[in-house]
Amino acid sequence: MRKGWMKKRIITLTLLAVAVLFIVLGISQGDYYSTLQKAVRICLECIGIG
């Protein structure tokens, strides 16, 4: 059981590391600003107009 738990936790930590890597790479390619630009305007599609 302990072995299975270790394997599961290794996968979890790998996922967390990949997530952080993706976020850092995403920010470096300007994704934060493109998300911000989209989100600060009223999304007409979202509210059912566009």
- Please give the residue ranges that form the binding site for other proteins (CB under 8 A): 1, 5, 8-9, 11-12, 15-16, 18-27, 29, 31-36, 38-40, 42-43, 45-50
Smallest distance from other proteins to CB 7, Å: 10
Rounded to a whole number of angstroms, the minimum distance from the CB of residue 13 to other proteins is: 8
Q: Enter the tokens of residue 37.
A: 């630009």
Contact between 11 and 4 (Cβ < 8 Å): no
User: Measured from the CB of residue 18, what is the shortest distance to other proteins in angstroms?
Assistant: 6
Per DSSP (E only), the strands in the chain are none
**Residues 43, 50: contact at Cβ < 8 Å?**
yes
